[in-house]
């Protein structure tokens, strides 16, 4: 097995210092689709040194903002040019449909364009009135320094872009470590940054494992900021590792996201159809491997039977298959490990009294050699069940019911996470009341899943620290500096002598 050169350090593509390699599996059939370099601590150290040198001595942090924005726009154009190839690669690597892969590439392109515009608009600093004509006081923004960017396997390119675009816009240098399961499209993205003209050493990538490369990036004293997207368990390790060097930490972690449906949203046939359709989409898009998946359906008791019956019927009709095949609606789970985890949660839910209304099994027959699992609806669930409290990150939807608005809000907030949630109602007053009371970073009213690059994304509680996208997503990558200039210096005479 000879590895491709997927480690990029100081402008050079290399294999791992140790010579190790890793096979990347196609989740649709568990065959090897690529072999990448399996970097280790030595590679992480080399990449950090390159990023450090590029920050301390290189031109990028001092490049005029208009040029930095121009580079981001060129990257966006290259993404547009490579849309089909990248969308296909992301689809095969992460197991999503090709159409989802294409949409991801569009969103990545839009993130680069957004941060190019934002940094141009927010480059001026702020003059502060110091109360005297003799004082000129201004707050400016500078890059943080060397950024370690660690990303998960479900939206590899998209999560990378939410970090890379603002980091570069602000003038930082970085080392990215993509998920060891799905590194392929991120390697391509680094090649596009190079093609767009980014100076050597600004963008570095080390493919490798979390416990070695990721942990090293989080602890290394020459890294100024670590931005991590992934699970809660790894996120807390990253935060601990970053503590000794007091680096800035941004965490985008998991979610256990409520989708609250009031009966009044379903009074018309059209309303009912929309709410059911969107509940399916909320829970099962990308086989539920979405941090903001609407994996908890919290429904008004009077509507339960009709709604869950229709939902289960449609869930059984979802067409599974390889993401590149026409007509396929859901791909496989990303790995054997994720499949086993999902099966474990369903088994524990059934043992705890949940009622299976759809799925609960692997599909049978040819074409399902990979990590496929049928979209699963579990009725009669309650807070005591592990499947209701913990993030499954698979195609599993639990159903809980409420009678009053207060009960609905209490259930929706009864989670240690707080990433996203939705409320479905025809009553505008109720919609705003409930949205105001939900302790989640994003609240949708009569919708599920859309996000905007202009709007902050992130979580309350154990869903994370900090925000990506929006102005706050750029602020993560900048330090504020107050420059106070005395135009008429005089002695203070505090000390008599």
Residues that bind ligand NAD (CB under 6 A): 150-155, 159, 177, 179-180, 209-211, 214-215, 218, 229-231, 234, 237-238, 252-255, 291, 391, 393, 419, 459, 464
Paired tokens of 262: 């009031």
Report in angstroms how near the CB of residue 2 gets to ligand NAD at its nearest. 23
In terms of CB distance, is 144 or 205 closer to ligand NAD?
A: 205
Task: Decide if 94 contacts 195 (C-beta within 8 A).
Answer: no
Question: Does residue 252 have an active-site annotation?
Answer: yes
In terms of CB distance, is 173 or 295 closer to ligand NAD?
A: 295
Report in angstroms how near the CB of residue 233 gets to ligand NAD at its nearest. 7
Report in angstroms how near the CB of residue 23 gets to ligand NAD at its nearest. 16
In terms of CB distance, is 203 or 253 closer to ligand NAD?
A: 253
Q: In what order do the strands lie in the sheet with 355-358?
A: 355-358, 376-379, 396-402, 296-300, 258-261, 420-424, 442-445
Report in angstroms how near the CB of residue 109 gets to ligand NAD at its nearest. 19
In terms of CB distance, is 78 or 419 closer to ligand NAD?
A: 419
Report in angstroms how near the CB of residue 388 gets to ligand NAD at its nearest. 16
The pairing of strands 355-358 and 296-300 is: unpaired
Paired tokens of 160: 């990378």
In whole angstroms, how large is the CA radius of gyration of the chain? 24
In terms of CB distance, is 40 or 58 closer to ligand NAD?
A: 40
Q: Give the integer Cα–Cα distance in Å for 67 and 290.
A: 35
The catalytically annotated residue of 38, 90, 252, 300 is 252
Report in angstroms how near the CB of residue 232 gets to ligand NAD at its nearest. 6
In terms of CB distance, is 58 or 255 closer to ligand NAD?
A: 255
Report in angstroms how near the CB of residue 279 gets to ligand NAD at its nearest. 19
In terms of CB distance, is 214 or 258 closer to ligand NAD?
A: 214
Catalytic residue IDs:
252
């Amino acid at each position: 097995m000879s590895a491709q050169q997927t480690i990029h350090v100081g402008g050079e593509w290399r294999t791992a210092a140790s010579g190790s390699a890793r096979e990347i599996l196609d989740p649709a059939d568990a065959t090897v689709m690529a072999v990448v370099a399996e970097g280790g601590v030595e590679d992480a150290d080399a990449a950090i040194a390159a990023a450090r040198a590029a920050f301390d001595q290189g031109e990028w942090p001092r490049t005029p903002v208009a040029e930095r924005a121009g580079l981001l726009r060129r990257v966006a154009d290259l993404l547009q040019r490579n849309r089909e190839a990248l969308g296909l690669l992301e689809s095969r690597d992460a197991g999503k449909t090709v159409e989802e892969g294409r949409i991801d590439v569009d969103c990545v392109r839009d993130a680069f364009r957004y941060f190019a515009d934002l940094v141009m608009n927010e480059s001026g600093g702020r003059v502060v009135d110091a109360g005297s004509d003799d004082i000129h006081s201004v707050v400016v923004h500078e890059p943080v320094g060397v950024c370690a960017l660690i990303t998960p396997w479900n939206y590899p390119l998209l999560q990378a872009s939410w970090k890379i675009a603002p980091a570069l816009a602000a003038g930082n240098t970085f080392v990215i470590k993509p998920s060891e399961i799905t590194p392929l499209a991120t390697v391509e993205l680094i090649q596009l940054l190079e093609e767009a003209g980014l100076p050597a050493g600004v963008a570095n990538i080390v493919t490798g494992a979390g416990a070695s490369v990721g942990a090293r990036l989080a602890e290394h004293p020459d890294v100024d900021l670590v931005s991590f997207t992934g699970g809660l368990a790894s996120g807390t390790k990253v935060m601990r590792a970053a503590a000794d060097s007091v680096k800035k930490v941004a965490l985008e972690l998991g979610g256990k996201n409520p989708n609250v449906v009031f009966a009044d949203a379903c009074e018309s046939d059209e309303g009912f159809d929309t709410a059911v359709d969107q509940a399916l989409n909320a829970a099962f898009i990308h086989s539920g491997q979405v941090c903001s998946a609407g994996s908890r359906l919290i429904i008004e008791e009077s509507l339960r039977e009709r709604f869950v019956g229709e939902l289960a019927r449609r869930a059984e009709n979802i067409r599974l298959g390889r993401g590149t095949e026409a007509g396929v609606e859901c791909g496989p789970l990303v790995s054997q490990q994720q499949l086993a985890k999902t099966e474990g949660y369903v088994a524990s839910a059934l043992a705890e009294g949940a009622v299976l209304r759809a799925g609960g099994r692997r599909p049978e027959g040819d074409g399902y050699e990979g990590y496929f699992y049928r979209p699963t609806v579990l009725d009669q669930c309650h807070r005591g069940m592990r499947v209701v409290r913990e993030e499954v990150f698979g195609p599993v939807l639990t159903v809980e019911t409420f009678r009053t608005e207060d009960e609905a809000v209490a259930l929706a907030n009864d989670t240690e996470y707080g990433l996203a949630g939705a409320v479905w109602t025809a009553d505008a007053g109720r919609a705003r009341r409930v949205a105001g009371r939900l302790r989640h970073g994003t609240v949708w009213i009569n919708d599920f899943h859309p996000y905007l690059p202009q709007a902050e994304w992130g979580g309350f509680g154990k869903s994370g620290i900090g925000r990506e996208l929006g102005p706050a997503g750029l602020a993560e990558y900048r330090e504020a500096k107050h420059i106070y200039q005395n135009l008429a210096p005089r002695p203070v005479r505090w000390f008599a002598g």
